[in-house]
């Protein structure tokens, strides 16, 4: 049976200079629609799942563009309210060779960041849903972002809907206000069944370092998180080693309370796009979770989708189930 997933977060616009230009050089900017939770929603819808998106978007032309992109990916936007105010924006300078990409946020005071939680129909968006996917970016926006994140979690708990929480720590956003990210994220992760995050995210949550290395450190961190959060049943993460800005080595891991699977590391070269690859990983993991796949299937599906997303411009991964099934690391010939 098809299961419904509800995603909650802020729809964003990304403005990027052409190629690998710096902002100081650019006289034009490309525009993409994205946002972490929206990227996951688009990824899951493209894989054939029924996906709803809850939240609020600006009622102007930019908001209409964002809505159109989400609808075009097959996402149900009935629960996306519209209101006066500005769209959240971020700028990205794409890296090249030894120079990393750089992001500048312009999200303060957006229509979403100022939204009244009571104005979002969480109950309707969650009715009959098998999962709520949300994460740590919304509470990083400020005190009202924390209120929005709490309202989403509370609605899911009241409806008996499991929560997938992607840590998605954004230091620039948390440091812009008098915040306590560890305390806020602990409260929100305590409601989650699935955590997308690695040992560094768990260190932030628990206020402790993990001394092991590689797989041992990841299992130590997972065991600590399972002990601290009784509702938590699954932790998914990637490990990324940067050779250059367009050559990464990536592996994926999924831990349950009793099992774990870590993939072999694969080379991802000729990278077209780095943005949205973590969201593609989350979509790949949740794709198999919704199909009742085991930890191995979830890890391999997540790794495949994140590797494929590196080849696609823009924030969203719009590949279908056949693309995922046909993935083979290193394959690049034309499919006919």
Predicted confidence at residue 20, as pLDDT, reads 86
In angstroms, the Cα distances linking 143 to 38, 116, 198, 205 are 22, 12, 25, 19
Please indicate, yes or no, if residue 163 is contained in any of the structural domains: yes
Please indicate, yes or no, if residue 2 is contained in any of the structural domains: no
**Sheet of 102-106, strands arranged across:** 30-34, 12-16, 88-93, 102-106
Most confident residue range from 89-103, 200-214, 273-287: 273-287
Q: Please, which residues have CB within 8 angstroms of residue 36's CB and are 6 or more apart in sequence? A: 9, 135, 137, 166, 168, 278, 279
> Over the stretch 161-195, which tens digit does the pLDDT of each residue have?
999 999 999 999 999 999 999 999 999 999 999 99
Percent of the chain residues past pLDDT 90, beyond the cut = 88
What's the DSSP call for residue 281? Answer: H
| Whether 307 contacts 238, CB under 8 Å | no
Predicted confidence at residue 2, as pLDDT, reads 76
Helix axes 277-290, 295-309, angle to 10 degrees: 150
Q: What is the CATH number of the domain that holds 292?
A: 3.40.1190.20
Please indicate, yes or no, if residue 247 is contained in any of the structural domains: yes
> Over the stretch 36-68, which tens digit does the pLDDT of each residue have?
999 999 999 999 999 999 999 999 999 999 999
Q: Please, which residues have CB within 8 angstroms of residue 254's CB and are 6 or more apart in sequence? A: 234, 235, 236, 260, 261, 285, 295, 296, 298, 299, 302
Please indicate, yes or no, if residue 72 is contained in any of the structural domains: yes
Predicted confidence at residue 238, as pLDDT, reads 96
Q: Which two tokens stand for residue 172?
A: 């620039």
Q: Which two tokens stand for residue 301?
A: 């599906």
Please indicate, yes or no, if residue 333 is contained in any of the structural domains: no
How many domains would you assign to the chain?
Answer: 1
What's the DSSP call for residue 118? Answer: G
Q: Which residues of 239-257 are buried (b: 16+ CB within 10 A; e: fewer)?
A: bbeeeebbebebbbbbbbe
Model confidence pTM above 0.85: yes
Please indicate, yes or no, if residue 4 is contained in any of the structural domains: no
Predicted confidence at residue 1, as pLDDT, reads 60
| Segments forming the whole domain that contains residue 196 | 9-324
Please indicate, yes or no, if residue 62 is contained in any of the structural domains: yes
Please indicate, yes or no, if residue 121 is contained in any of the structural domains: yes
Q: Shortest CA distance to 167 belongs to which of 188, 152, 148?
A: 188
Task: Answer whether residue 258 shows pLDDT above 50.
Answer: yes
**What is the mean predicted confidence (pLDDT) over 145-161?**
98
Q: Across the chain, how many H-helices and E-strands are there?
A: 12, 14
> Over the stretch 291-317, which tens digit does the pLDDT of each residue have?
999 999 999 999 999 999 999 999 999
Task: Answer whether residue 330 shows pLDDT above 60.
Answer: no
| φ/ψ of residue 288, rounded to 5 | -75, -35
């Amino acid at each position: 049976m098809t299961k419904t997933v509800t995603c909650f977060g802020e729809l964003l616009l990304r403005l990027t200079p052409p190629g690998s230009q710096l902002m100081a050089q650019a006289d034009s900017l490309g525009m993409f629609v994205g946002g972490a939770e929206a990227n996951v929603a688009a990824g899951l819808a493209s894989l054939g799942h029924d996906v709803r998106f809850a939240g609020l978007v600006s009622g102007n032309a930019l908001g209409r563009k964002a809505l159109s992109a989400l609808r075009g990916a097959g996402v149900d936007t009935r629960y996306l309210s519209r209101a006066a105010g500005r769209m959240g924006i971020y700028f990205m300078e794409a890296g090249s060779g030894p120079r990393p990409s750089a992001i500048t946020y312009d999200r303060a005071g957006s229509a979403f960041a100022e939204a009244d939680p009571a104005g979002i129909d969480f109950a309707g968006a969650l009715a009959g849903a098998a999962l709520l996917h949300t994460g740590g970016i919304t509470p990083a926006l400020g005190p009202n972002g924390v209120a929005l994140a709490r309202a989403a979690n509370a609605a899911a708990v009241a409806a008996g809907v499991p929560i997938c929480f992607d840590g998605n720590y954004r230091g620039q956003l948390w440091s812009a206000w008098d915040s306590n990210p560890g305390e806020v994220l602990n409260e929100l992760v305590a409601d989650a069944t699935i955590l997308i995050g690695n040992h560094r995210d768990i260190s932030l949550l628990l206020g402790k370092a993990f001394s092991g290395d590689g797989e041992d450190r990841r299992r130590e961190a997972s065991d600590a998180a399972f002990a601290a959060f009784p509702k938590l049943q699954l932790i998914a993460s990637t490990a990324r080693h940067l050779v250059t800005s367009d050559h990464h080595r990536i592996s994926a891991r999924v831990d349950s309370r009793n099992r774990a699977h870590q993939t072999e590391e694969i080379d991802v070269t000729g990278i077209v796009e780095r943005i949205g690859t973590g969201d593609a990983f989350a979509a790949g993991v949740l794709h198999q979770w919704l199909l009742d796949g085991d930890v191995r299937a979830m890890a391999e599906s997540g790794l495949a989708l994140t590797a494929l997303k590196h080849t696609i411009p823009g924030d969203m991964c719009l590949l279908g189930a056949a693309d995922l099934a046909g993935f083979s690391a290193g394959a690049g010939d034309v499919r006919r």
